[in-house]
Structure 1
């Protein structure tokens, strides 16, 4: 959505599409387009006589001011068909023919709505969608590895479905990121990052259009890996200097695969280019520092490293989430410390889908975080560690003053011969 506003209301994080009005006595017509990174840019525009600007909030990093939101709500009520281009309408029409596992009308209504739903109800939809998304992205990754272009339309559609699910219930999709597939890391990383950054964006209160761009940027941030020699991508030993230089070229490959494609916004391009930049200037490809790196790219850096550290790979056993969060927290010179703190509050010290050991000799599945007590989530107890057997499930809020039960540690499911996928289905599917 584009809004015309006075220079006095311009804020860092807004994307200037064009100058709407300028003082006549300035002599030179100012043409400016781009993200406002700091107040110095605002002062410069004001000094050059700019009075009003056209702001594109679909590309901005902050939400539309409340007084302008009435127009946005009216726009949302327009028929959906008027907002779609011919290519998108054809693609949606084609997808309508896919085989549905539930009655079409009921499932379509549930997927298109962003009204809040229960964890159990959303998990049923999310788990089916998650498997379908993984199969499609695996095929896409293989196509790109073979030299074909990336299907950006498919990426866009999957991103939208992920965002809609997250907006209905943040925990359902987030739980699925805890499922591990050692041989499918390359494409699961794309989906996991899209889910995690959508959850993070929702927590930060960003608009749906911004979260959609974040999700699509996350899906595409590493797609260039498919164009690298796969022997390097999956190498178990430490990379040589030459191999590391080759890996860093995935940024250029990613750009080449998406540049000029429909639906690729400046924010998405920025995330692809800059997700390996670090605030101390040690990142690549340009060695940007501090606020030279956009908020979207700083968010992407956090999510990218978190999922990479916690995922199983052919050459790596995944870290427990608490260790990855601690790494991000202690490297405050590389990752935005404010965003890291908010990311930890968003996920919780023990993210949903984790299995934790409690002080009462029980194992529990984390179902929801606790914003006010990140170390005391809402859990479902299911296993007796003393007698080594499953027990009748019982839900418990670990932040409640009615008991003194606490988390001792996160555990790996295989340490107790637990199949996490089966456990989730048993406890979250009716």
Structure 2
């Protein structure tokens, strides 16, 4: 398992998890240099450099970690009943158009805000309405597409990914349609305030100075200032934009709100925001595998996130979220098509590569159905990193066969 600990609890022999992502905005004083802690003097140096927390690996490898999470999240009592879905391949064609149009709209509104223009709110509602429609028909398509965006478009893709992931989770939690649209609007606009922060700070790869971080901490309020001038924007959208960096234990910003004092939409946006930051490629860093990102977020429960809400978020996405490349016990590789909230280790997968990573005629397999029929010979061993094999998964996910 992965656990977030205060730096003062680090001890020689503990292993710090590799965490090369855009998480600095959420955890600016996080120590992220991976490897085993060698000595007490190393801990003292880390403290002296001003770091407050680190993520450590607690005694279990990837497969054990997945199974432990599966056991913790398998309780059926809080699980919403399954809903009928449009087939993945059928909805993917529609979802791809929806996603591409949303990306175009995100570029437009960010450009307009930088020029001092108002956000086209009516067009924003139409864009999010299409995202909500797709999430209702088959949420796994949007989750797949959120992991296939090009890093050169990260600024825009992040807005759309957060909106899509938040809507998928909100739909899973039973929010009504109008609520989902407002939630999606909040997700799409949650970082508009960054347009008022100097680009040298936004694009800085090194650790921020205290002064720079204080400026970053103002972007939720900048975002509210941009949107409050538009009368169409509802209070719950404004609250979500303002509060999306608040934390369960009161250590967030800008108001250091605690637990249920944080607006409900903001708590959902925060989960989607961190997940997308962890799992997105950038020009200067590789994404973290989706299952590892969820394990990291689980390690943040009770500190950054409400323990129940982060557990439900992981149930929604699945231990192996849609779009994940997985290695099977046969040595073959597959890509996850659809998650299975009731049996997180048994999603639907498309087997696409042999043990030597050579393409094979694809085969769609429902692991849960196969086991129900007595076939226990096929299972997922671990997530794999497509970047390590120079694989582009998009063709496998956006076409049938």
Please tell me the TM-score bracket, short chain as reference.
0.7 to 0.9
Selected match of 2:390 from 403, 417, 422: 417
TM-fit CA distance, 1:191: 0.5
Structure 1 residue aligned with 2:101: 132
State the 1:116 CA deviation: 4.7
Partners of 1:264 and 1:143 lie apart in 2 by 17
Instruction: Structure 1: give runs of 5+ residues left out of the alignment.
Output: 1-113
Q: 1:200 to 1:223 in 2, by over 3 A?
A: same
Counterpart in 2 of 1:405?
A: 378
The answer to whether the 8 A contact 2:186-2:240 is kept is yes
Point out the structure with max Rg over C-alpha. 1
Indicate the structure whose relative CO is greater, using CA pairs within 8 Å and at least 6 residues apart.
Answer: 2
> How many Å separate the matches in 1 of 2:209 and 2:391?
38
Alignment-derived partner of residue 305 in structure 1? 274
Gaps of 5+ in 2: 1-82
Residue of structure 2 aligned with 1:322, choices 266, 277, 291: 291
Q: Are 2:333 and 1:358 aligned?
A: no
For 1:212, the equivalent position in structure 2 comes to: 181
Structure 2: distance between partners of 1:247 and 1:134: 24
Separation (CA, whole Å) in 2 of partners of 1:162 and 1:115: 18
Deviation per residue, 1:244-292 (Å, 9 max, x gap): 1111111121011110424311111110111111111100001111121
**CA deviation map 1:173-220 (0-9, x unaligned):** 221011132221111111001111111011111111111111111111
Encode CA deviations 1:48-100: one digit per residue, 9 max, x unaligned: xxxxxxxxxxxxxxxxxxxxxxxxxxxxxxxxxxxxxxxxxxxxxxxxxxxxx
1:244 and 2:213 matched: yes
5 Å-filtered alignment, 1:161-310, equals 161-310=130-279
Aligned 8 A contact 1:352 1:367 in 2:
yes
Q: List per-residue Cα deviations over 1:23-63 (Å, max 9, x = no partner).
A: xxxxxxxxxxxxxxxxxxxxxxxxxxxxxxxxxxxxxxxxx
CA contact (8 A) 1:234 1:314 kept: no
Any conservation in 2 of the 1:234–1:315 contact (CA below 8 Å)? Answer: no
Q: Cα deviation per residue 1:81-125 (whole Å; 9 max; x = unaligned)?
A: xxxxxxxxxxxxxxxxxxxxxxxxxxxxxxxxx995222221111
TM-score by length of 1: 0.70
Structure 1 pair 314–149 and aligned structure 2 pair: CA distance change class (3 A): farther
Say which of 368, 380, 396 aligns to 2:350.
380
Aligned pair count reads 314
1:264 is paired with a residue whose SS is: coil
Q: Which moved more, 1:160-169 or 1:294-303?
A: 294-303
Residues 67-216 of structure 1: pairs in structure 2 closer than 5 A:
116-216=85-185
Distance change in 2, residues 1:116/1:405 (3 Å)? closer
- 1:70 matched residue in structure 2: none
